[in-house]
Amino acid sequence: MTQAQRNAFEVASGHFDITFLYLVCVGFFLATVFFWAAWAAVDVWNGWANEKVRNQTLKQFAIRTTVLLVMVVWMFAS
């Protein structure tokens, strides 16, 4: 962004710095993704403990969730 664009953004947003707003948005997104992963892990674990979810499904969930979290952190928090 040019300096004029930065100044226009800061004036229009109520004098918030663009990097601050970026960090807030990324932080909210990461918190939401990690909250979803925790909720899903508890749900899958309860299903596995009650023998409603097979071992293979539990393993697939763990791998997919780990890959999702690594990709999200790599893409948005780096």
Q: How many domains is the chain partitioned into structurally?
A: 1
> What average pLDDT score do residues 39-58 get?
96
- Residue 42: band (very low, low, confident or very high) from pLDDT cuts 50, 70, 90: very high
Rounded CA-CA distance 29/72 in Å is: 9
- Answer yes or no: is pLDDT of 16 > 90: no
Closest CA to 34 of 65, 59, 13: 65
**58: containing domain:** 3-76
Closest CA to 61 of 38, 36, 39, 44: 44
The pTM of the full predicted model, rounded to 2 decimals, is 0.81
